[in-house]
């Protein structure tokens, strides 16, 4: 059988220290067992693909199962860990910080844990932010709040300077909580560390409200985001329904991937149209959005439209694209454009309508995590700590195929996860809204 080295996790060295966690490898002896590095989870759960691998005599792709290792690399009492949060806010960041601190302190007896303030900026001494000492007492209540107690930022920092800061502060483990940008940054830091022959572990915990990190089942905070969006859409429906030819447009987050908008539409069947960035649609023309909207109003006298912030960007005139400090393209406001175009269209045909435009984006992203996201955040933090203490580096922790695994950062940042316009999830969203398959 041919070897398969895909998705291998790098280790800083041979883990030789006996874990202070009291577990057993023998089933029946204890409540939970240590996990071996060789314990792997199949990447592709389609039976047909497994057959095909075996027919070609190749070991199928798999991911390393996460969890506590019997032998670890860092001795807690000599270890300093650091936590940094970057990019946009997302529900659950404080839950992750809290559980990282608790696990490091109580499971492994880690001596010192510091918070890096305001994202990667906090690793640049020239900016002059002081580290925040993190103790169980300091973090015990923070899961109650949205946002991040460490602060966040965008904008690039010199990788070499950031590694120097880790070295100068005797940091052994860096936990980076953030989206694609943060993870690319973490990988760059981790690679520089390996190139310098240093023994500092770098771990990523994928945070993106848009759920656009590739391979993984979901990123934390994503579920809370459509949980918070659903009652807003319910109330928007009341507004639309309460007026003759009433319409409500709700703009939700989703820069390049429309998972929040589509999930909200699927959870809230009062949504009649959902527009996502992955979708190619036109406003005008006999199959266009406006004509479909008119049909809907003629039959039901109201309509609810959910639009992701990155949808319909092709409808804007080709003026200069602007970017944020991290180089992300800043989208034009599709919600406002829709409202204007809808109004102009119905005014032109003398049809009396009312339009309400609602943009709850910032309320959603700063909300505290719901119960299921809190559960997920805690699991992620515990698994991240086990992996880092075992000396693994340049990895992220996530659930894939409903199992917790370690993945090389480089593998999850190759491309963004997007809605498959020919897949079952999008088909579900179309069935729920009743909108046509194509509006071109």
Query: Residue 177 to residues 87, 90, 97, 181, 204: CA-CA distances in angstroms?
Result: 9, 10, 9, 10, 6
Q: Residue 192 CB, nearest distance to ligand ATP (Å)? A: 10
> Is 210 among the residues known to form the active site?
yes
254: left (phi over 0), alpha (psi -120 to 50) or beta: left
- Residue whose beta carbon is closest to Mg ion: 179
Residue 256 touching Mg ion (CB under 5 A): no
Catalytic residue among 210, 212, 359, 373: 210
Q: Where are the beta strands (DSSP E) in 225-338?
A: 246-252, 273-275, 302-308, 322-323, 329-330
Least distance CB 87 / ligand ATP (angstroms): 2
Whether 209 has a binding-site annotation, put simply, is: yes
Q: Is 117 in the site for Mg ion (CB under 5 A)?
A: no
Distance CA(83)–CA(136), nearest Å, equals 14
- Known binding residue 434? Answer is no
Q: Say whether residue 246 binds ligand ATP (CB under 6 A).
A: no
Q: How far is the CB of 32 from ligand ATP (least distance, A)?
A: 32
Q: Helices 180-195 and 159-168 meet at what angle, rounded to 10?
A: 70
Compute the CA torsion angle 68, 72, 73, 74 (nearest 10 deg). 80
Residues 262, 278 contacting (CB under 8 angstroms):
no
Q: Site residues for ligand ATP, window 62-91 (CB under 6 A)? A: 86-88
- 178 forms part of the interface with ligand ATP (CB under 6 A): yes
Secondary element (H or E) of residue 79: none
Residue 208 annotated as part of some ligand binding site: yes
Q: Is 182 annotated as a binding residue?
A: yes
Three-class secondary structure of residue 333 per DSSP: coil
- Residues in 180-209 that interact with Mg ion by CB under 5 A: 180-181
**How far from chain centre, in Å, is Cα 257?**
11
Nearest approach, Cβ of residue 123 and Mg ion (Å): 18
Q: Which stretch binds ligand ATP (CB under 6 A): 11-19, 21-29, 155-163, 228-236?
A: 155-163
- Identify which range of 103-111, 175-183, 308-316, 341-349 contacts ligand ATP by CB under 6 A: 175-183
Q: Which stretch binds Mg ion (CB under 5 A): 92-100, 179-187, 216-224, 369-377?
A: 179-187
* DSSP 8-state assignment for residue 416: B
The annotation places the binding site for Mg(2+) at 180
Catalytic residues: 210
């Amino acid at each position: 059988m041919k070897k398969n080295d895909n998705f291998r996790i790098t280790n800083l060295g041979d883990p030789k220290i006996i874990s202070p966690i009291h577990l057993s490898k023998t089933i029946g002896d204890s409540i939970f067992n240590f996990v071996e590095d060789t314990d792997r989870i199949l990447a592709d759960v389609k039976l047909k693909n497994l057959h095909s691998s075996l027919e070609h005599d190749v070991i199928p792709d798999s991911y390393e199962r996460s969890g506590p290792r019997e032998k670890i690399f860092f001795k807690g009492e000599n270890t300093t860990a650091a936590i940094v949060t970057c990019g946009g806010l997302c529900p659950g960041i404080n839950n992750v910080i809290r559980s990282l601190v608790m696990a490091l302190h109580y499971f492994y007896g880690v001596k010192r844990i510091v918070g890096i303030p305001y994202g990667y900026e906090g690793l640049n001494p020239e900016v002059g932010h002081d580290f925040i000492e993190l103790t169980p007492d300091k973090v015990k209540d923070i899961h109650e709040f949205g946002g991040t107690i460490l602060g966040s930022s965008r904008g690039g920092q010199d990788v070499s300077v950031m590694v120097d800061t880790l070295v100068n502060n005797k940091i052994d483990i860096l936990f980076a909580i953030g989206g694609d940008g943060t993870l690319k940054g973490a990988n760059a830091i981790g690679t520089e560390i390996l190139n310098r022959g240093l023994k500092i572990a770098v771990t990523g915990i994928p945070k993106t409200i848009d759920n656009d990190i590739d391979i993984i089942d979901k990123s934390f905070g994503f579920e809370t985001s459509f949980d918070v969006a659903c009652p807003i859409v319910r109330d928007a429906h009341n507004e639309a329904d309460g007026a003759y030819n009433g319409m409500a447009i709700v703009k939700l987050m989703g820069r390049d991937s429309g998972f929040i908008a589509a999930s909200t539409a699927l959870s809230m069947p009062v949504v009649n149209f959902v527009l996502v960035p992955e979708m190619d649609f036109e406003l005008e023309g006999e199959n266009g959005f406006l004509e479909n909207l008119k049909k809907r109003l003629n039959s039901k006298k109201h309509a609810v439209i959910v639009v992701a912030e990155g949808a319909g960007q092709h409808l804007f005139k080709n003026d200069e694209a602007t970017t944020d400090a991290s180089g992300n393209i800043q989208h034009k406001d599709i919600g406002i454009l829709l409202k204007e175009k809808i109004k102009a269209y119905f005014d032109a045909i003398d049809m009396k309508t009312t339009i309400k435009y609602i943009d709850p984006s910032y309320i959603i992203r700063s909300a505290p995590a719901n119960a299921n996201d809190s559960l997920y955040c805690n699991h992620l933090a515990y698994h991240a700590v086990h992996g880092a203490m075992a000396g693994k580096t340049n990895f992220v922790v996530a659930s894939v195929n409903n199992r917790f695994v370690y993945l090389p950062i480089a593998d999850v940042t190759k491309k963004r996860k997007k809605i498959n316009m020919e897949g079952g999830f999008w088909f579900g969203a179309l069935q729920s809204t009743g909108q046509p398959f194509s509006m071109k």
